[in-house]
Amino acid sequence: MPWKAIGIFDSGVGGLTVLKEIIKALPQEDTIYFGDTARVPYGTKSPETVTRYSLEIASFLVHRDIKLLVVACNTASACALEALQQTLSIPVVGVIEPGARRAASVTRSGKIGVIGTEGTIRSSAYAKAIKRINPEVEVVTRACPLFVPLAEEGWTDNEVAHLTARIYLTGLREAGVDTLVLGCTHYPLLKRVIGETIGEDVKLVDSAEETARTVAEILRGRDLLRPSSEQGNHHYFVSDVPAGFIRVGNRFLGGRLGDVYQVSLDAEKG
Ligand code: DGL
């Protein structure tokens, strides 16, 4: 029996930070990544639109016979996870539940900050997930939309990044959070600036790392892990011309991407 791949999608390059952690945790697994570069960003769009896009991408990946789907986009996880789980017969893992679980377990003061796109923050998905785990915890949130273009531009440690971080994070620091969830695929690239601004004593929770751990647990639990002696292959599909994805993606992945193919989801439907 050939081993099936893990399917992963995001609105664009951001989900490569999640893929990176999955490859680190499970180097033996094949992966198929889809970046919706023709329709990025998702963070500013309505939940209905993000759900429709997510279902289209899921259908594309399921046709490639994946064994598990990772929604490697916080906005899509916030808006579309339920619809995906109801529609698909394979396990679907979002990035919010794992990040929320980790945050709830590391906080000491019971005051957690969450930052993300406008869509993610508006949905209150992190706050709800954290409160489901521990209703006593106080959750303070802040949308930080400008962190997305800064990360893509590679402006992760210059004056603009520091000033932006100060403006976004001062309120959270003053609120006294002891844990901060990086609730957007792009924010791990700004970890240093975010950490310095919010205060070194505040614990940063990277949803990507937690999600990779969850994927490993689910595959192990279902006996779907490839033998660790294998070496995984990684395939990339995008919905717009690949040049920009490749340029920015190599930085997000922290290594070299393989071949990237442009596909049209409309053609797939027809
Ligand atoms: N991938 C998105 C997220 O994690 C950020 C980029 C976008 O807005 O599409 O929410």
- Ligand 1: does its nearest atom lie under 6 Å from the Cβ of 73? yes
184 a catalytic residue: yes
Distance from C-alpha of 229 to C-alpha of 110, rounded to nearest angstrom: 42
Cβ atoms of residues 169 and 194 within 8 Å = yes
Which atom of ligand 1 is nearest the CA belonging to 183?
Answer: 4
Res 2: pLDDT: 73
How many domains is the chain built from?
2
Q: Whose CA is nearest to atom 1 of ligand 1?
A: 73
Is 118 found in the same domain as 85? no
- By most ligand atoms within 8 Å of CB, the mutation choice from 8, 9, 11 for ligand 1 is 11
Contact 75, 126 (CB under 8 A): no
Residues 36 and 53 in one domain: yes
My answer on whether 112 and 162 are in the same domain is: yes
Q: How many angstroms does the Cα of residue 228 sit away from the middle of ligand 1? A: 32
How many C-alpha atoms does 121 have within 13 Å on its Cβ side? Answer: 17
CB atoms within 10 A of CB 229: 6
CA of 230 to the centre of ligand 1 (A): 32
Same-domain status, 114 and 198:
yes
Q: Is residue 73 annotated as part of the catalytic site, yes or no?
A: yes
Task: Give pTM, 2 decimals.
Answer: 0.95
Residue 41 sits in the same domain as residue 89: yes
7: tokens are 């399917």
pLDDT at 1: 56
State whether 219 and 202 are in the same domain. Answer: no
**End-of-domain residue from the set 160, 183, 206:** 206
Mark which of 206, 231, 253 sits at the end of a domain: 206
Q: To which H or E segment does residue 68 belong?
A: strand 68-71
Q: Are residues 51 and 131 in the same domain?
A: no
Give the residue from 153, 174, 206 where a domain finishes: 206
Query: Does ligand 1 come within 6 angstroms of the Cβ of 77?
Result: no
Residue 205 has which token pair? 């929770």
Residue 82 and residue 215 in one domain: yes
**What is the reported pLDDT for 256?**
83
Task: Look up residue 180 and give its two tokens.
Answer: 């901060």
88 plus 102 within the same structural domain: no
Same domain, 178 and 138: yes
The range of the structural domain enclosing residue 194 comes to 97-206
- Same domain (yes/no): 16, 77: yes
Same domain? For 71 and 60 the reply is: yes
CA–CA dist 13, 41 (Å, integer)? 10
* Residue 255, pLDDT score: 80
Query: pLDDT digit of tens for each residue in the chain (270 aa)?
Result: 578 999 999 999 999 999 999 999 999 999 999 999 999 999 999 999 999 999 999 999 999 999 999 999 999 999 999 999 999 999 999 999 999 999 999 999 999 999 999 999 999 999 999 999 999 999 999 999 999 999 999 999 999 999 999 999 999 999 999 999 999 999 999 999 999 999 999 999 998 999 999 999 999 999 999 999 999 999 999 999 999 999 999 989 988 898 999 999 876 665
Contact criterion met (CB below 8 Å) for 169 and 114: no
For the domain that residue 258 is a member of, what is the CATH number? Answer: 3.40.50.1860
User: Helix, strand, or coil here: 116?
Assistant: strand
